[in-house]
């Protein structure tokens, strides 16, 4: 079973950038689809972006601002977030599943502990 640990969260002003990392151990992430989700206070968890070795899916609200990438040598998936907005404030989670990327959080089997992103106006 793979284990996931997120890092890179923090507080930035609107327009700023952050780079989140999802480091895996136990198994190679290349065997999984990896997704980034986020949950803002009082809201449901929502899909941000996902990647597999042959495919990538982005939520509409991140296109042009967020980029997901993988570093197979470090068994890590990154989320580069540019042009951050106050509405991007949330706890960001990475998750892994076998098979195709899914935008549904219920289909993911393994989750990290989350990392807080706070964007001030």
Report the Cα–Cα distance between both ends of the chain, in Å, rounded: 40
Query: Cα(107)–Cα(10) distance, rounded to whole angstroms?
Result: 28
Task: Tell me the mean pLDDT in the region 51-66.
Answer: 93
Which residues share a beta bridge with 95?
35, 111
pLDDT at 50: 97
Residue keyed to tokens 């509409």: 60
pLDDT digits (tens, 9 = 90+) for 9-55: 999 999 999 999 999 999 999 899 999 999 999 999 999 999 998 89
């Amino acid at each position: 079973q793979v284990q996931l640990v997120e890092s890179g969260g923090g507080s930035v002003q609107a327009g700023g950038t952050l780079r989140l990392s999802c480091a895996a151990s136990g198994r190679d992430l290349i065997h999984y689809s990896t997704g980034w989700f986020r949950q803002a206070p009082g809201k449901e968890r929502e899909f941000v972006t996902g990647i597999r070795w042959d495919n990538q899916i982005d939520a509409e609200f991140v296109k042009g601002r967020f980029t997901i990438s993988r570093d197979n040598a470090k068994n890590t998936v990154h989320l580069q977030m540019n042009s951050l907005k106050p509405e991007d404030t949330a706890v960001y989670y990475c998750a892994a599943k076998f098979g195709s990327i899914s935008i549904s959080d219920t289909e993911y089997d393994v989750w990290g502990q989350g990392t807080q992103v706070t964007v001030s106006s």
